[in-house]
Amino acid sequence: MNTTSPINRVTRSREEARASYDKMSRWYDLLAGLSEKKYKEMGLQILDIQAGEQVLELGFGTGQCLIKLVESTGETGNVFGVDLSQGMLDVAHSKLLKAEISDSVELCLGDAMKLPYADNSFDAAYSSFTLELFDTPEIPVVLSECQRVLKSGARLCIVSMSKKAINGFIVNLYEWTQKNFNKYVDCRPIYVEQCIKENGFHIRSVTEMSMFGLPVDIVLAQKV
């Protein structure tokens, strides 16, 4: 990876991450959901899901995007989701029940590093504020799994905190906090576009945004 400075590592274990998100699942929408909402919605807009498509969301969390995905795929499409946390899955399932669309979504408790789906299954995959939770050597594994389950020509949209060649004070402070309090702050900025490109995807567009001074990139890519 051609970078000017290394990406911070994620040192807490998968079990610690699962336990953490299980605990915060009931409060996640209040803690982070509101601040992430506009970036998630922009990502969905850019991905532009069509009726009849088979769509996968990696790291669906509390299910903020699942309802919109169901609306977009319509009666002829299908939505699937995978997440590491049982607590998040329970919250998401409750939202789907309330919206009376639980039969339209298949949720799975699992790991994006080993997706429980057949090769060439999906027309599109979506992930927001999830890829940057994986440790640096794990990111290519997740993207390789995306390559495997996506059909030829299928779209991948990743919304993620982004590390740039030159970073300002806010990014440096955030990275210092994440490095020194890694068990509490596991997500960190990554070289989003480069990671996706280096794992064989064609980059169709990159939309740059900012969240409290932290760069956020929305990358739309295509399996070739």
Q: How far is CA 78 from CA 103, 105, 153, in A?
A: 10, 7, 18
The helix (H) or strand (E) run that includes residue 180 is helix 169-180
Q: What is the pLDDT of residues 118-135, one digit of tens each?
A: 999 999 999 999 999 999
Where are the chain's structural domains?
14-223
Residue pLDDT, tens place only, 18-50: 999 999 999 999 888 789 999 999 999 999 999
pLDDT of residue 2: 47
Q: Which fold has domain 14-223?
A: Rossmann fold (3.40.50)
Over 90: is that where the pLDDT of 215 sits?
Answer: yes
Has residue 182 got a pLDDT over 90?
A: no
Q: How far is CA 77 from CA 22, 124, 125, in A?
A: 30, 11, 13
Average pLDDT, the chain: 94
How confident is the model at residue 183, as a pLDDT? 77
For residue 170, give the H/E element and its range: helix 169-180
Task: State mean pLDDT over 61-66.
Answer: 96
- Residues in CB range of 195: below 8 A, 6 or more apart: 1, 131, 139, 140, 143
What pTM was estimated for this model as a whole?
Answer: 0.94
59 forms beta bridges with none
What is the per-residue pLDDT across 77-112, written as a single tens digit (0 to 9) for each?
999 999 999 999 999 999 999 999 999 999 999 999
In percent, the amount of the chain with pLDDT more than 90 equals: 87
> Both tokens of residue 50?
């069509």
